Structure 1
Amino acid sequence: MDSALTSVALPAALAIIMFGLGLSLTVDDFARVARHPKAVAIALVCQLVLLPAIAFGLVTAFDLDPLLAVGMMLLAASPGGTTANLFSHLFRGDVALNVTLTAVNSVIAVVTLPLITNFALVYFDPTDGGGDTLGLQFTKVLQVFAVVLVPVALGILVRRRSPAFADRADRPVRIGSAVVLALVIVGTVVSERENIADYAAEVGLIAVAFCVLSLTVGYLVPRRLGITDRQSVACSMEIGIHNSTLAITIAISLLDSVRLAVPAAVYGVVMFPVAAAFGWLITRTTKSDDPAVARV
């Protein structure tokens, strides 16, 4: 892939998205964990344990190419995306819970994402085009820490120092984040345009299946464990909508493999229509149980 996209555009795109997340956060969002420990704990178990297990089951059942299999595991280990807040709002989820989950999971992912990715690299043992073994080393983990948490911390600091400015900047940054995400996905697709049909055939079905399963697990598991419908909707969107840009950045900038980024790029395209359809379905299904939640 073009070096400018690898070394500048991708990290910058991720920094903008994570800075936008920080603008929407306060210290109270982290403290909210103590007020809703059950919902947060259930969502995190689904995100950190069940999703990697589901992804592992899918890639082994479909006997996916090793590089694409690691790419799927990298995607599964990535935290929820900031767009999950918007989808939760549209389908009457608990947006405050989404904000809390995104904040907490983005911090935890600094540890869990390298662990899951390195497990996948060891298990599937992929090689790059030159036959070299890939690996996410400690120095690269520090880079992950930098591109994820430093912009978030800066965004929180800006909101703390100037809440009015943060409120004004929130919408433009969100729009910019969405545009940047689209450009990152387009850039990845264009760079691999000769292989995109093959990649779509290889990963498309798995990406859709993983998205549907993520959303379903994120909704049904909390509901079965006594979490309210609004909080379950929030969990579903948080778990089903991943930070694809983070996965793409790690794959291309840190692991130097465009092929590893393909699952995240494909997922970044399919997750929005699938999440919209899922949100519409659950609001209609729960309409008789909770009319206030069902109205969209």
Structure 2
Amino acid sequence: MRKVAELAGRWFAVLVVLGGVAGLVAPAQLAPIAGHVPLFLGIIMFGMGLTLRGVDFALVARRPWAVLVGVAAQYVVMPLVAWGVGHAFGLEDLALLGMILVGAAPGGTASNVIVYLAKGDTALSVTLTAVSTVLAPLLTPAIVLWLAGSELDVTYGALMTSIVQIVLVPVLAGLLLRTLAGRYVEAVLPYLPLVSVTGIVVVVAGIVAANAGAVLGTGLLLGLAVVVHNGVGLALGYLAARVAGLDETARRAVSIEVGMQNSGLSASLATAHFSPAAALPAALFSVWHNVSGATLASFWARRPVGGAGGGERPREGAHSLPA
């Protein structure tokens, strides 16, 4: 079973693509899954909490500037780029809203292993993921309502409540369980990739199935917008870290943290408060950012740099939750 979990993590991007294909092939059978996206994300976020420890937040005190730069870039660059790219591509209504939801989400947890493979600052990556996730209930609703509020029939409180329920509570529950029963949790950490990969693949299959007609009709344009959004995010994340004076390993970490989003949260908010159509950008982003992240990691891995961050191996299970 452990070997299967390792293979699932290694071939995650391929499995997500296959999940999307399954959604197109069997839309009637898989579309009902879209209504259960919040449940799947809650399970995945609980798994993320199991991989965290209090020490993951200690870096905030030791290197506040690096953490501040990373989190600020996360919540400034990606939302504004999503809004700009969406309008540039002529996206409207739910498609544009879906782009903004992706942009306003915290960092995706698959970023941790991508940063490690890219010889980046893994400790900073884990901290940025944790901090941006904890801040999501406050910042994500505010950003979404700021960029698309005039068109939305939803309140800040409703969005915040959803994020607390499907992200913050499961993450804190997992963290608490890790604190109280660390020895037992350590035993299951190697198997978490199988749980998280399965959850994301099922979510993508359900969302694509619920929007099969839209994917076949406008999927190419929306897919291109997602690719540009991700690419610009990766580039501006690196640039922001460079301008801030961070070293090369930290630049790589911030770049990947900014460019890789928690698309599962975006899909969950879309289906819970709007419609499955608004979750389509998140499904496409979930496929693409893992492909682009792995490609970028391969490129950077051939250009090793010095520094403490580049040599740190991610903790067991830290890479187990792609989203």
Whether TM exceeds 0.5 here: the answer is yes
**In structure 2, what is the equivalent of residue 81 of structure 1?**
108
How many residue pairs were aligned? 283
Alignment partner for residue 90 of structure 1, among 91, 94, 117? 117
**In structure 2, what is the equivalent of residue 119 of structure 1?**
146
**In structure 2, what is the equivalent of residue 39 of structure 1?**
66
Q: Which has the higher contact order (CA 8 A, sep 6+)?
A: 2
TM-score normalised over the length of structure 2: 0.81
1:104-253 matches, cutoff 5 A: 104-123=131-150, 125=151, 134-253=153-272
CA distance, structure 1, for counterparts of residue 140 and residue 211 of structure 2: 25
CA distance, structure 2, for counterparts of residue 134 and residue 197 of structure 1: 28
Flag the 1:225–1:283 CA change in 2: closer, same or farther, 3 A.
farther
Please report how far the alpha carbon of residue 63 of structure 1 lies from its aligned counterpart in structure 2 after TM superposition: 2.0
Contact 2:119 2:300 (8 Å CA) reproduced = no
Please report how far the alpha carbon of residue 235 of structure 1 lies from its aligned counterpart in structure 2 after TM superposition: 1.4
Please report how far the alpha carbon of residue 143 of structure 1 lies from its aligned counterpart in structure 2 after TM superposition: 2.2
State the superposition RMSD in angstroms. 2.3
Task: In structure 1, list runs of 5 or more residues that go unmatched.
Answer: 126-132
**In structure 2, what is the equivalent of residue 259 of structure 1?**
277
- SS of 2:235's partner is helix
CA distance, structure 2, for counterparts of residue 164 and residue 4 of structure 1: 38
Cα deviations by residue, 1:208-244 (Å, 9 ceiling, x for unpaired): 0111111112223213322122222221221111111
Instruction: Tell me whether 1:282 sits opposite 2:300 in the alignment.
Output: yes
- SS of 1:270's partner is helix
Alignment partner for residue 5 of structure 1, among 19, 30, 33? 33
Flag the 1:243–1:87 CA change in 2: closer, same or farther, 3 A.
same
CA distance, structure 2, for counterparts of residue 58 and residue 17 of structure 1: 29
CA distance, structure 2, for counterparts of residue 218 and residue 77 of structure 1: 15
Please report how far the alpha carbon of residue 277 of structure 1 lies from its aligned counterpart in structure 2 after TM superposition: 1.6
Instruction: Tell me whether 1:271 sits opposite 2:289 in the alignment.
Output: yes
Please report how far the alpha carbon of residue 121 of structure 1 lies from its aligned counterpart in structure 2 after TM superposition: 2.9
Further displaced range: 215-224 or 96-105: 215-224
